[in-house]
Amino acid sequence: MLSGITLTGIHEWEVPLGYVPDMRVSGRLFLSETLGEALEEGAARQLANVATLPGIIGHSFGMPDIHWGYGFPIGGVAAFSEDEGIISPGGVGFDINCGVRLIATPLTLGDLTDRTSIITELFKKIPTGVGSKGSLRFSGSALDELLGRGSAYVIEEGLGLPDDALLCEENGHMKDADPDLVSEKARKRGEPQCGTLGSGNHFLELQVVSKIHDPLTAQAFGITEGSICCMIHCGSRGLGHQVCTDHIRNMEKASKRYGIRLPDRQLACAPLTSSEGQNYFGAMAAAANYAWANRQIITHDLRTLFESLFRIDYNEMPLIYDVAHNIAKWEEHIVSGKTQRVCVHRKGATRAFGPGRAELPGKYRDTGQPVIIPGSMGTASFLLAGTETAMQKTFGSTCHGAGRVGSRKAAKKALRGSEVSADLKKQGIIVMAPSGDAIAEEAPSMYKPSEEVVRVVDEAGLSRIIATLMPLGVIKG
């Protein structure tokens, strides 16, 4: 662990006031000793930098998958007050509402007699890679509807089940979205891309439920040992990236205009009450809606493919849940004993609301929110549940994945995609991607052990493990 950071609880470490100048609150890191050895000094400094921003409440938080990012560390969480707080594109990220969803199926391992053919068909069906285009094109008023209503719009167009939107965070749309605040350039980038995985760490993975840790909650979530599930990870594509780019420029000017002293220009921000802050929020929410619609269309394409491949019914593949990773949202939390409306930034972090929250679907009110944590192509993924401890400690937040330990550039220099693919095939995992570099960049060795990351949040009480899922095949962007 880095000098000056001290242990204060189970896997809980304090980044003290004064770690960087002008901190308003201390930082909190959730790490095991093992993960702490890999903590980047730059990521810890970014966590402390966030603690200098106006209106921050409680602490600046870092999850066990923390690593260096743009402005905020990836794996960072911070909540800001309604009156004095700010909103920062660096606290959301370029891939607005990059998120993950889990879909159940009635299939078992015995049904997957030719796994290579299945992954090949998925790769043909789901557009992947940089600049990939979907089979549907949304423009004009249709794009306005999609940006304003998210997954509900495409479901009404016949691309989903009636309950799909209810089983998403925010019911698959943010009501504060304003399509008019999305630039023409962002709209043009988004018109052909809805229903595509994109590039980078985005994927669609075929998984088997290898172990149930909590049978009662697993039953409530609709997941059984030995069953086959599909996990989809993607975001708002070029549209979201452009929204972030557009508003970072505005925020850099706004920070100076409002006299906000920044330790890092990548933390450019504006007061939540300002026109610049509200404009970014409206555009960001629209991009988040685009991302939910994107994952919904991919889900529809997956279901229709599996209908034909396995002769199962579309309705037999329910959505378990869909969570956002890169987003800022208004939420109500208990602060100093009182309910307060705060703007929570989660940048590479997952909402983990505990039992009883009105925002959750009725079927999950007693269990807490499903939390979906993907592994790294060759490692386990996990289904967890949100907890009351997370509500008390981290504004209802937990980790979002394994977290990188090596850059994509370093991965391509050190590894060959063909070798990574061959190694995974020996383990029974079929991988397909647009290029060998895309596979090398996402090699399991470039990530922290997902089991260790999830162990930390489970033992720290930020979410509890319900099921382990092992990869069988994956298509990567």
- Closest CA relative to residue 59, chosen from 43, 78, 76, 74: 78
Is 91 annotated as ligand-binding?
no
Residue 400 appears among annotated catalytic residues: yes
Is 233 annotated as ligand-binding?
yes
**420 is a domain residue:** no
Is 88 annotated as ligand-binding?
no
Query: Of 11, 300, 345, 400, which is the active-site residue?
Result: 400
Q: Name which residue leads in pLDDT, 218 or 132.
A: 218
The whole domain housing 29 covers 6-405+447-476
Inform me whether the pLDDT recorded for 252 exceeds 90.
yes
**334 is a domain residue:** yes
Q: Name which residue leads in pLDDT, 223 or 406.
A: 223
Per-residue CA distances from 122 to 69, 82, 190, 294, 305 (Å):
31, 45, 22, 16, 8
**428 is a domain residue:** no
The tens digit of pLDDT for each residue in 49-74 reads: 999 999 999 999 999 999 999 999 99
Is 11 annotated as ligand-binding?
no
Coil/strand/helix, residue 77: strand
CATH classification at residue 60: 3.90.1860.10
Q: Which of 200-209, 288-297, 432-441 shows the lowest mean pLDDT across its residues? A: 432-441
Is 250 annotated as ligand-binding?
no
Q: Determine the average pLDDT of the residues in 147-153.
A: 98
pLDDT band at residue 171, thresholds of 50, 70 and 90? very high
What is residue 429's predicted lDDT score, i.e. its pLDDT? 94
pLDDT band at residue 234, thresholds of 50, 70 and 90? very high
At residue 371, φ and ψ (nearest 5 deg) are -120, 125
What is residue 405's predicted lDDT score, i.e. its pLDDT? 81
pTM over 0.85: yes
**422 is a domain residue:** no
**415 is a domain residue:** no
pLDDT band at residue 417, thresholds of 50, 70 and 90? confident
Q: List alpha helices for 182-319, DSSP H.
A: 184-190, 215-221, 237-257, 275-310
Is 377 annotated as ligand-binding?
yes
**320 is a domain residue:** yes
**433 is a domain residue:** no
Percent of the chain topping pLDDT 90: 88
pLDDT band at residue 92, thresholds of 50, 70 and 90? very high
Inform me whether the pLDDT recorded for 409 exceeds 90.
no
Is 326 annotated as ligand-binding?
yes
Inform me whether the pLDDT recorded for 1 exceeds 80.
no
State the Cα torsion 120-125-130-133 to the nearest 10°: 160
Characterize the bridge pairing of strands 463-476 and 430-432: parallel
Residue 417 CA to residue 224 CA, distance in Å, equals 33
**426 is a domain residue:** no
- The distance of Cα 302 from the centroid of its chain, to the nearest Å, equals 20
In whole numbers, what is the pLDDT of the chain averaged over residues? 96
Give how many domains the chain has, as a whole number. Answer: 1
Q: Which of 19-23, 195-199, 338-342, 383-387 shows the lowest mean pLDDT across its residues? A: 195-199
